Amino acid sequence: MTQTIENRAYGVDVSSFNNANVTEYTNAGANFVLVKVSEGLDYRNPKAKAQVDSTKQNNVVPMGYHYAHFGADSNRAVQEGNYAISSAKLAGVVVGSFLACDYEQGSGNETGGDREANTTAILTFLDTIVSAGYKPLLYSGAYLMKNKINTSRILAKYPDCLWVAAYNGKIANDANFGYFPSMDGVAIWQFTDNWKGLSVDSNIAVKSLKIDANVNKPVSQPVNTSTQPKTWTDVQGMTWHEEHGTFITGGAINLRWGANTQSTLIATLPAGSEVKYNAWARDSAGRVWLQQPRANGHDGYLVGRVGSEAWGTFK
């Protein structure tokens, strides 16, 4: 079955920091959802399957993406490609769908090496997922695409496969093409990290995209409310989401007694510190705070992400 994402259709991309149920986004006008399925070689988004299933239940098109850690290493790119394939299948992103390589600086990925070596590694990853039947996309910021990736080589093999990020950091309801990057081969443009005030990245297709996949709706299952992640609102008005994981700091990060930058400092954690967390919330400035359970029932708080930029690695 062939599905089409029409030119100028809006969509969102989601990870574990977003809701498992994407209805809020589809009700706002999203016609496709790009779901983070994996990162590196040892992380799978725990919400990926629920997000893909919710996307299908809302009759919009699911796709997947993998956050790369391979830098300029083509051998590792093959490994990550295979890990992305298995992760996508586990999440329900079926063969024939788009599967993107998210290639950014930081959070475990180093892009500062040779431009051509970076490009070769990216092509190796894309070749791997294409060999499994997925359609390729390459996500990155406009600056990185223009300076550290030879997009001409990418597009020579996989035309119109670029998913580019370029925006001014403000809430946006619609794509302002005054910020559209002047680049060839763009299929999808990520134009904001806060669409309609929903704290979700939004994208617009800048060409018609065809998907040759059977994306039938999943069979509805009874909801076991006892296993659903909890949410709650604190006195600051921040909505917290229960999630258990480990965050490894990418640089020095302050650990505080409260989830705001004026709260008392507990310690400044050095790069490479492992922090167990049990919940997260996003503040009005776009900072994602992680809650660290501590002794005697007290909690510590640190910033793990600002906008779409992670300050470390999640596992």
Catalytic (active-site) positions: 13, 104
Interatomic CA distance for residues 14 and 23, integer angstroms: 12
101: nearest Cα among 69, 72, 131: 69
Partners of 137 in the β-ladder: 100
Indicate the Cα dihedral angle 25, 28, 33, 38, nearest 10°. -30
84: nearest Cα among 102, 61, 96: 102
109: nearest Cα among 315, 255, 313: 313
Interatomic CA distance for residues 185 and 10, integer angstroms: 18
Q: What does the block give as tokens for 116?
A: 């051509």
Task: List, in order, residues 6 or more apart from 229 with CB less than 8 Å away.
Answer: 20, 241, 242, 243
239: nearest Cα among 43, 65, 19: 19
